[in-house]
DNA sequence: CAACCGAGTTAAACCGGTTTAATAATGGGA
DNA sequence: TCCCATTATTAAACCGGTTTAACTCGGTTG
């Protein structure tokens, strides 16, 4: 008796379809569809009856079928590195704006074991109508064929391919701001811990070299990466006895790694050596880090990126766009005047 | 001429379907489907020919249609707070294991403007076959009706509902470890900055009270939250002149916020006051934070969670499971002997 | 009184695959 | 030579919706 009254096994119960509703209401499934989508036509009476039945049956429209029938999914996709706080900021903002604009957002995780390509494939499988790529590292050609037919907005990295929009900040300006700031403080031996072999990393590395040269100084580059761990490893190979007084790290996470090593090695920052980051992420803002860094206006980037995607989808733009925002320097306590020898 | 040779407009070109391949190869679409899915039957010759054509046309199977036709999606969904480093760790691990097991993973973002309910709905719309909820805050009843028919694994929070599995650590043990540690160091006035009104927060708050009482001390609780900002705000309202010598924060992020305030207020940690976190996230491990905290064995939780989901999907388990792991204390430098008065 | 009308509804095609029963082609054994 | 097994392939139903042309019917209108 008891067992008979229990609801059917979870996960076993067939979910009600539009056909069930139609049968129950004694109308055609086409009409039910019209009603559920709020189309004009059906009478008020029928509408009320059908909606009541739908509600009673706990009907949820099957998005899969719906997607197949319409051509739209109203779904946007974004690749994210979960551990990256700057990505987190961008995602929060993009999510907010996508909500406003009536789009859904799905995230594809890029992790050490799950690369960008896999993340993009998952998102495409979701039938995302447009993709946002955060700090994409795949070759442009590969991206082009992977995402064929889908508008892409690359955030942070410039991609010159038809169908790709770009939202980024001027890396050369950002790096110049940092280098100029350090030079003004008297630093002459400034080392760059780069971000590995990504495109953004290459841009910043190049911008660093230009800025350093402009001051008549000589560049010095240490291979690094995007994570705290990379920063630690790079800093361990750094020999301060050579006269280096400042480190410009690829991003905040990397800079935090550099700080971490210096802390353990009892090397005072900023008295003995100055350190800078990039992104002005939450990490940099913490008083314990207090990192001089560059702000990339994530909200503005998010807004432009979503707008660009939607213009392609709902508007009729086919021309590629590239937005280049001006980054700005945020001076904190991780940089100081060069120590007197 | 030039324009004529250009590939069709991106985003405009119709993607090739199984029917196109069938036409090209002069076979039926059913056969193409069999071949693409590696079913036995088709001859080696036809197989090779069809695959070659598929490749040349750049065919990608339309997951939407595929999902509709089969009943399976092999897609798992997880709700995540992007800015939470502990979530990031879990996601990386779950992604890795899901990959191994042949499942895809889609993430739904929970942000200040996009709540858990919305994230779950998006994931369900994706036709996820099972859901992982990280630190879910929705009422159990709401969850039950929202996810009707889909197995759910709640990570971190206990949920006693049919169809829900749970993977968590023993919050009471974790909090007791922290409180015991502090008491051993001589602390008598230990304040808890809680995590707001989530379920996990309630568990920890309760565990804190029990542990404190067990030592014959009196509990003191400050409303907090899950983020650094919450920690800062809570710490600002804390009056140390009342004799408080230790703060047990809800999690690492909150603890970092507390540290941040103390730093700004020039209150030495741990000399004047000890601070503890929870999660043993990357943040806590940084030398600058050096946070005494509790490790929650994220890898083990990830493994169990994925296993639980897949057992429901591919196996035949219908019995609910609850795994409770033992957390362990990680002592670092944010805690020290109580200062002599 | 026939033609027309519009509101409400339906039937049927379609989206792009998967799956299975039925069919065609091939070869072997009696 | 005929029949039966195999093997390769096809046709058709189906998944759960959306969309549109066509239909019904009571009520004008000329």
Based on the structure, what is the number of domains in chain A?
A: 3
Both A49 and A11 in one domain: the answer is yes
Both A166 and A303 in one domain: the answer is yes
As a whole number of angstroms, the distance between CA B83 and CA B88 comes to: 8
As a whole number of angstroms, the distance between CA A226 and CA A121 comes to: 23
Query: pLDDT at position A125, please?
Result: 76
Chain A residues within 8 A of B256 when measuring between CB atoms: 286, 288
Both A147 and A238 in one domain: the answer is no
In this predicted model, what pLDDT tens digit does every residue of B217-253 receive, in sequence order? 999 999 999 999 999 999 999 999 999 999 999 999 9
CB pair distance less than 8 Å for A126 and B126 = yes
CB pair distance less than 8 Å for A96 and B114 = yes
The answer as to whether A203 is a domain residue is: yes
DSSP B215: T
Task: Show the tokens assigned to A259.
Answer: 């700080």
CATH number of the CATH domain containing A153: 3.40.50.2300
Both B186 and B262 in one domain: the answer is yes
In this predicted model, what pLDDT tens digit does every residue of B167-222 receive, in sequence order? 999 999 999 999 999 999 999 999 999 999 999 999 999 999 999 999 999 999 99
DSSP B340: P
Q: Is the CB of B23 under 7 A from strand C?
A: no
| CA distance to B93, B122, B308, B309, per residue, from B313 (Å) | 20, 20, 9, 6
Q: Is the dihedral of CA A306, A311, A312, A314 positive or negative?
A: positive
Question: Could you say which of A33, A61, A89 is where a domain stops?
Answer: A61
Both B177 and B263 in one domain: the answer is yes
List strand D contacts in A 170-199 (CB < 7 A).
none
Average pLDDT for residues A172-187, to the nearest whole number?
A: 98
**Closest Cβ opposite residue B95 in set A67, A114, A125:** A114
As a whole number of angstroms, the distance between CA B97 and CA B105 comes to: 10
Both A132 and A49 in one domain: the answer is no
Interface test with A, best of B86, B286, B333 (most A CBs within 10 A): B286
The answer as to whether B84 is a domain residue is: yes
**Secondary structure class of B116 (helix, strand, coil):** helix
Both A291 and A302 in one domain: the answer is no
The answer as to whether B68 is a domain residue is: no
The answer as to whether A68 is a domain residue is: no
Average pLDDT for residues A77-85, to the nearest whole number?
A: 95
DSSP A92: H
Q: Pairing between strand B293-295 and B328-330?
A: antiparallel
CA of A43 to C1' of C3 (A): 26
Query: pLDDT at position B264, please?
Result: 94
As a whole number of angstroms, the distance between CA B176 and CA B128 comes to: 37
CB pair distance less than 8 Å for B95 and A80 = no
List strand D contacts in A 69-128 (CB < 7 A).
69-70
Both B281 and B176 in one domain: the answer is yes
CA of A43 to C1' of C2 (A): 29
Q: How many CB pairs under 8 A join A and B?
A: 173
As a whole number of angstroms, the distance between CA A217 and CA A220 comes to: 10
Nearest nucleotide (C1') to alpha carbon of B31: D9
Q: Is the CB of A213 under 7 A from strand D?
A: no
In the predicted structure, residue B280 carries a pLDDT above the cut 60: yes
- pLDDT range class, residue B4, cuts 50, 70, 90: very low
Residue B55, C-beta contacts closer than 8 angstroms, at least 6 positions apart: none
Both A164 and A306 in one domain: the answer is yes
Report, in ranges, which bases of strand C sit under 7 Å from a protein C-beta. Answer: 7-20
Selection from B57, B68, B75, B21 nearest residue B309 by Cα: B75
Q: Is the CB of A295 under 7 A from strand D?
A: no
Q: Which H, E and C letters describe B8-49, residue by residue?
A: CCCCCCCCCCHHHHHHHHCCCHHHHHHHHCCCCCCCHHHHHH
In this predicted model, what pLDDT tens digit does every residue of B35-93 receive, in sequence order? 999 988 889 999 999 999 999 988 888 878 888 898 777 889 999 999 999 999 999 99
Q: Dihedral of the CA atoms A101, A102, A103, A104 (nearest 10)?
A: 120
Q: Is the CB of B48 under 7 A from strand D?
A: no
Both B210 and B188 in one domain: the answer is yes
Chain A residues within 8 A of B80 when measuring between CB atoms: 82, 107
**Closest Cβ opposite residue A92 in set B82, B148, B318:** B82
Under a CB-based contact definition with an 8 Å cutoff, are residues B335 and B270 in contact?
A: yes
Under a CB-based contact definition with an 8 Å cutoff, are residues B137 and B199 in contact?
A: yes
Residue B10 CB neighbours (<10 A): 20
The answer as to whether A223 is a domain residue is: yes
Average pLDDT for residues B251-267, to the nearest whole number?
A: 97
CA of B42 to C1' of D28 (A): 65
Question: Could you say which of B19, B36, B61 is where a domain stops?
Answer: B61
CA of A155 to C1' of D18 (A): 35
As a whole number of angstroms, the distance between CA A104 and CA B55 comes to: 31
**Secondary structure class of A329 (helix, strand, coil):** strand
Selection from B227, B235, B158 nearest residue B192 by Cα: B235
Under a CB-based contact definition with an 8 Å cutoff, are residues A252 and A85 in contact?
A: yes
The minimum CA-CA distance between B100 and chain A, rounded to whole Å, is 10
Both B198 and B280 in one domain: the answer is yes
Both B41 and B23 in one domain: the answer is yes
Nearest C-alpha in B relative to A164? B10
CB pair distance less than 8 Å for B106 and A126 = yes
Query: pLDDT at position A75, please?
Result: 87
N residues, chain B: 341
- pLDDT range class, residue A148, cuts 50, 70, 90: confident
The answer as to whether A337 is a domain residue is: no
Q: How far is CA B54 from the centre of its chain?
A: 38
Chain A residues within 8 A of B151 when measuring between CB atoms: 10-11
CATH number of the CATH domain containing A49: 1.10.260.40
CB pair distance less than 8 Å for B64 and A127 = yes
pTM of the predicted protein model: 0.85
Selection from B327, B256, B245 nearest residue B285 by Cα: B256
**Closest Cβ opposite residue A149 in set B10, B104, B112:** B10
Question: Could you say which of A274, A296, A318 is where a domain stops?
Answer: A296
The answer as to whether B252 is a domain residue is: yes
CB pair distance less than 8 Å for B82 and A105 = no
**Secondary structure class of B328 (helix, strand, coil):** strand
| Rg from Cα positions in chain A | 26
The answer as to whether A336 is a domain residue is: no
The minimum CA-CA distance between B54 and chain A, rounded to whole Å, is 14
Query: pLDDT at position A278, please?
Result: 98
Chain A residues within 8 A of B318 when measuring between CB atoms: 9-11
- pLDDT range class, residue A46, cuts 50, 70, 90: very high
Report, in ranges, which bases of strand D sit under 7 Å from a protein C-beta. Answer: 7-20
Nearest C-alpha in A relative to B127? A64
Domain extent for A125: 75-170+297-326
Under a CB-based contact definition with an 8 Å cutoff, are residues B186 and B178 in contact?
A: no
In the predicted structure, residue A136 carries a pLDDT above the cut 90: yes
């Amino acid at each position: 008796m008891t067992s008979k009254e229990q609801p059917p096994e979870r996960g076993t119960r067939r979910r009600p379809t539009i056909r069930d509703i139609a049968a129950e209401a004694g109308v055609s499934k086409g009409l039910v569809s019209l009603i559920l989508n709020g189309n004009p036509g059906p009478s008020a009476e029928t509408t009320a009856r059908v909606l009541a039945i739908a509600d009673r049956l706990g009907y949820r429209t099957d998005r899969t079928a719906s997607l197949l029938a319409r051509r739209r999914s109203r779904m946007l996709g974004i690749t994210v590195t979960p551990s990256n706080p700057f990505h987190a900021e961008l995602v929060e903002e993009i999510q907010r704006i996508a909500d406003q604009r009536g789009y859904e957002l799905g995230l594809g995780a890029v992790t050490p074991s799950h690369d960008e390509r896999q993340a993009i494939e998952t998102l495409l499988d979701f039938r995302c109508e447009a993709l946002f790529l955060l700090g994409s590292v795949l070759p442009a050609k590969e991206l082009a064929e992977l995402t064929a037919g889908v508008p892409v907005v690359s955030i942070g990295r410039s991609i010159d391919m038809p169908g790709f929009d770009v939202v980024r900040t001027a890396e050369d300006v950002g790096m110049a701001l940092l280098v100029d700031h350090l030079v003004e403080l008297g630093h002459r031996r400034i080392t760059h811990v780069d971000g590995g072999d990504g495109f953004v990393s290459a841009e910043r590395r190049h911008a660093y070299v230009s800025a350093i040269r402009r001051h008549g100084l000589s560049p010095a580059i240490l291979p690094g990466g995007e994570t705290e761990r990379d920063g630690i490893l790079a800093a361990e190979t750094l020999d301060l006895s050579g006269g280096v007084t400042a480190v410009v790290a690829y991003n905040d996470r990397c800079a935090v790694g550099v700080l971490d090593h210096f802390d353990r090695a009892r090397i005072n920052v900023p008295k003995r050596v100055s350190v800078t980051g990039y992104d002005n992420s939450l990490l940099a803002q913490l008083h314990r880090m207090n990192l001089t860094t560059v702000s990339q206006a994530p909200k503005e980037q998010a807004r432009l990126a979503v707008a660009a995607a939607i213009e392609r989808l709902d508007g009729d733009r086919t021309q590629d766009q590239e937005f280049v925002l001006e980054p700005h320097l945020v001076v904190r306590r991780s940089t100081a005047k060069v120590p007197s020898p």
